[in-house]
């Protein structure tokens, strides 16, 4: 449909989420058909419905009976049908009741006590990284991504999982392959036909799965207070454990790697609001919610219609792809007053950055803790910061990634 703005092309996201296009869709065509042409060597797809209003996004996410995570999995691009049975072993790509059973089992590893015990370690790490960056700044400029937030997210996750220090680099390499596949800085691995190989296919993941089994065996011998120890001692089958390890390394790393610099970027652009945070006029945890609303790390998730239905007046046929856009829902004027204003004290703040419904983020508590602690320490270590140059963004319609954030620290 020529008169409907495009919100699919990942290249457009290099300049930030397309807010003007989202707004036009919300106002004129809240459930809008999007073409899916070949982009960056990835084959064309059949197209999908883009859902941009908050109420409709929440409805899609809550109604798993109509909008399935299993039928075509959860990425915009269709998986190779041969890979589908494999991809469906991941909890993210399951529907109730299977999903419920698996989620209940793995949730036990995420005890609030375990997450809270983590706070002191995260704080020490935040302080060390921020101080190191400040003291090593060349001409007073730090790249917050390279110097602080990439390591912070990865090291926190590997500690929680129980990955030994020597193996952390491996994890980073694996998650980058999966997430950055649309980005020209990350050349895809190509198959014999010259086409990029799907980074979520069994072939690409074999190495990571072997590692997950080795680590679980190690944890059975040497139990510790970490997630892999809990999983290794649970009723999870081997294949479920491998898949959950994969899900955690991707879901728990790139999201925080996006949220942390995204929040600092917002604060650097809003010195007055940052001043309010410095003066403790706003609690840091309230501010973190607003930073997550303004910079949602996840840009889209896909469902597939399980039967014919109607969404916001639009007929959707069984088998159609339905994609929700979190950054659009978070800026819906129907829910948020003055949505493009950074209001650190905003309350209530029903953003959907962690999703909603049965798949709502399992790591939200852990993510919030990491972000709160990082901002608290940054207010102490880097009291004055300003943007030294524009940030560089990831080319992706899935993760709202920031690849570099040069800040002047004075």
Q: Which is nearer to ligand HEM, 25 or 64 (CB)?
A: 64
Return the number of other C-beta atoms located less than 10 Å from residue 337's C-beta.
8
| Rounded least distance, CB 311 to ligand HEM, Å | 16
Cα distance between residue 250 and residue 172, in whole Å: 9
**Member of 74, 175, 396, 397 binding ligand HEM (CB under 6 A):** 74
49 close to 320: Cβ distance less than 8 angstroms: yes
Total number of residues binding ligand HEM (CB under 6 A)? 26
Residue 255 interacts with ligand HEM (CB under 6 A): yes or no: yes
Q: Given the rule CB under 6 A, which of 31-39, 266-274, 334-342, 354-362 is the region that contacts ligand HEM?
A: 354-362
Q: Which is nearer to ligand HEM, 23 or 359 (CB)?
A: 359
**Token pair of 242 as six digits:** 């491998």
Q: Given the rule CB under 6 A, which of 46-54, 117-125, 251-259, 305-313 is the region that contacts ligand HEM?
A: 251-259
Q: Which is nearer to ligand HEM, 134 or 300 (CB)?
A: 300
Residue 367 interacts with ligand HEM (CB under 6 A): yes or no: yes
Q: Which is nearer to ligand HEM, 181 or 398 (CB)?
A: 398
**Token pair of 238 as six digits:** 């081997």
Residue 103 interacts with ligand HEM (CB under 6 A): yes or no: yes
| Rounded least distance, CB 343 to ligand HEM, Å | 19
Q: Which is nearer to ligand HEM, 45 or 357 (CB)?
A: 357
- Give residue for tokens 């883009």: 50
**Token pair of 180 as six digits:** 């950055």
Q: Which is nearer to ligand HEM, 304 or 353 (CB)?
A: 353
Distance of CA 185 to the CA centre of its chain: 19
Ranges within 4-63 binding ligand HEM (CB under 6 A): 61
Return the number of other C-beta atoms located less than 10 Å from residue 55's C-beta.
14
| Rounded least distance, CB 221 to ligand HEM, Å | 24
CA-nearest of 176, 234, 239 to 212 is 239
Ranges within 299-328 binding ligand HEM (CB under 6 A): 301
**Member of 354, 374, 395, 398 binding ligand HEM (CB under 6 A):** 354
Q: Which is nearer to ligand HEM, 188 or 296 (CB)?
A: 296
301 close to 74: Cβ distance less than 8 angstroms: yes
| Rounded least distance, CB 88 to ligand HEM, Å | 12
**Token pair of 365 as six digits:** 């508590």
Binding mask 132-151 for ligand HEM (x = CB under 6 A): --------------------
**Member of 18, 252, 263, 339 binding ligand HEM (CB under 6 A):** 252
| Rounded least distance, CB 259 to ligand HEM, Å | 4
Q: Given the rule CB under 6 A, which of 41-49, 78-86, 347-355, 391-399 is the region that contacts ligand HEM?
A: 347-355
| Rounded least distance, CB 122 to ligand HEM, Å | 11
Q: Which residue, judged by CB position, is nearest to ligand HEM in the bound state?
A: 363
Residue 363 interacts with ligand HEM (CB under 6 A): yes or no: yes
Residue 256 interacts with ligand HEM (CB under 6 A): yes or no: yes
Q: Which residues contact 110 (CB under 8 A, 6 or more apart)?
A: 227, 362, 363, 365, 366
| Rounded least distance, CB 194 to ligand HEM, Å | 32
| Rounded least distance, CB 361 to ligand HEM, Å | 3
Residue numbers at the binding site for ligand HEM (CB under 6 A):
61, 69, 74, 91-92, 103, 157, 247-248, 251-252, 255-256, 259, 297-298, 301, 353-355, 359, 361-363, 366-367
């Amino acid at each position: 449909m020529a008169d409907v703005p495009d919100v699919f092309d990942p290249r457009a996201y290099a300049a930030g989420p397309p807010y003007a296009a989202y707004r036009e869709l919300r106002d004129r065509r809240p459930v809008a058909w999007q073409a899916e042409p070949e982009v960056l060597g990835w084959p064309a797809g059949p197209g999908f419905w883009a859902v941009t209003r908050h109420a409709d996004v929440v409805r899609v996410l809550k109604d798993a009976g109509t909008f399935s995570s299993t039928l075509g999995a959860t990425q915009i691009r269709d998986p190779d049908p041969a890979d589908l049975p494999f991809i469906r072993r991941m909890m993210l790509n399951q529907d109730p009741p299977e999903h419920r059973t698996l989620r209940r089992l793995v949730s036990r590893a995420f005890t609030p006590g375990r997450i809270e015990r983590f706070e002191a370690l995260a704080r020490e790490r935040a302080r060390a990284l921020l101080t190191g960056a400040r003291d090593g700044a060349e001409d007073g400029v730090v790249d917050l991504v390279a110097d602080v937030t990439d390591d912070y997210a990865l090291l926190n996750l590997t500690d929680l999982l129980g990955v030994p220090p020597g193996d952390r680099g491996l994890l980073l390499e694996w998650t980058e392959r999966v997430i950055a596949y649309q980005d020209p800085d990350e050349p895809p691995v190509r198959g014999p036909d010259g086409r990029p190989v799907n980074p979520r296919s069994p072939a690409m993941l074999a190495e990571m799965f072997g590692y997950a089994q080795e680590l679980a065996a190690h944890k059975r011998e040497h139990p510790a207070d970490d997630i892999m120890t809990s999983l290794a001692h649970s009723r999870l089958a081997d294949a479920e454990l491998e898949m959950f390890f994969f899900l955690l390394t991707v879901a728990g790393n790139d999201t925080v790697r996006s949220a942390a610099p995204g929040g600092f970027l917002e604060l650097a652009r809003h010195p007055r609001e940052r001043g309010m945070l410095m003066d403790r006029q706003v609690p840091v945890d309230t501010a973190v919610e607003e930073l997550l609303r303004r910079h949602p790390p996840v840009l889209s998730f896909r469902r597939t219609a399980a039967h014919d239905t109607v969404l916001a007046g639009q007929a959707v046929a069984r088998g159609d792809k339905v994609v929700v856009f979190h950054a659009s829902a978070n800026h819906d004027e129907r829910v948020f007053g003055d949505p493009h204003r950074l209001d650190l004290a905003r309350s209530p703040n029903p953003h959907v950055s962690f999703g909603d419904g049965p798949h709502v983020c399992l790591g939200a508590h852990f993510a919030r803790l990491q972000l709160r602690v990082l901002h608290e320490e940054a207010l102490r270590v880097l009291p004055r910061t300003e943007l030294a140059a524009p940030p560089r963004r990831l080319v992706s319609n899935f993760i709202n990634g920031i690849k570099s954030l040069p800040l002047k620290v004075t």
